[in-house]
A = this chain, B = another copy of it.
Amino acid sequence: MHVAESLKKYEHPYLTVDGVLFRFDGGLDVKLCRNDEIGKLCLPGGFVPVDRLAVDVLREKVMAKAGESGFYAEQLQTYDGLDRDPRSRVVSIAYLCLTCGGTDGNGWYRLDGDVLRGSDGELALGDLGFDHGGIVADARRRLVNKLWYSDLVRHLLPGMFTMPEIQAVYEGLEGKDYYNNFKRDMGSRLAPVGLRKDGKPGRKAVLYEWNSEWEV
């Protein structure tokens, strides 16, 4: 068609995806991988070609660069600053991604305030490549904001979990104490499916799964 034709020679921005993959294990961890070109830790991601959906490219790149698959992903925001990549104009669609435990044990960094702690030492959010530090901060804010009016937390937990376990996720992410009111506050989100039998002392915990009836 004629508009598309006239745009053939039109120089337009590159499009990329970046994934902020979180897990929760006593604290919030984010997956990072080293970018050899700029020599910094970055979010996994890559360029979006004409014939592929951003989220599909995301899954492929996160698998290739970070060894993770099977995670939950939803769009976070699109970053289009003119100089976010000094090499050329690159607009990036960022995704908030959640997983439970993770496939590959490497590349996880505990996000504690503005500092990232990994097995190879400690760095600040601002030390990440490009504008990725800000993207991680935005992703965490979104995750925390949506905790109670979405089912995001599901994706940070296994299919079955106990009340103390899910409460620890909420309390860790929100930095607040729900005392013994947590079950009450969960309302109809959870459905009991059994008892946990671990060798530890103390009363056996009831196992729950997410109630599929529940909706935001």
Using CB atoms and an 8 Å cutoff, list the residues of chain A in contact with chain B: 1, 3-4, 7, 10-15, 37, 47-54, 75, 77-78, 80-82, 87-89, 91, 93
Q: Other than the known A10-B47, A54-B91, what 17 A-B pairs have Cβ atoms closer than 8 Å?
A: A1-B88, A4-B87, A7-B14, A7-B47, A10-B49, A12-B12, A12-B14, A12-B50, A48-B91, A50-B89, A51-B82, A52-B82, A53-B80, A53-B81, A53-B82, A78-B93, A80-B93
Q: List 13 A-B contacts (CB under 8 A).
A: A4-B87, A7-B47, A12-B14, A12-B15, A12-B50, A13-B50, A15-B91, A51-B82, A52-B82, A53-B82, A54-B80, A75-B78, A91-B93
Contact of A75 among B47, B50, B77, B88 (CB under 8 A): B77
Residues of B within 8 A of A10 (CB): 14, 47, 49
Contact of A15 among B4, B15, B49 (CB under 8 A): B15
Residues of B within 8 A of A89 (CB): 50-51
Residues of B within 8 A of A81 (CB): 53
Residue of chain B at shortest CB distance from A88: B4
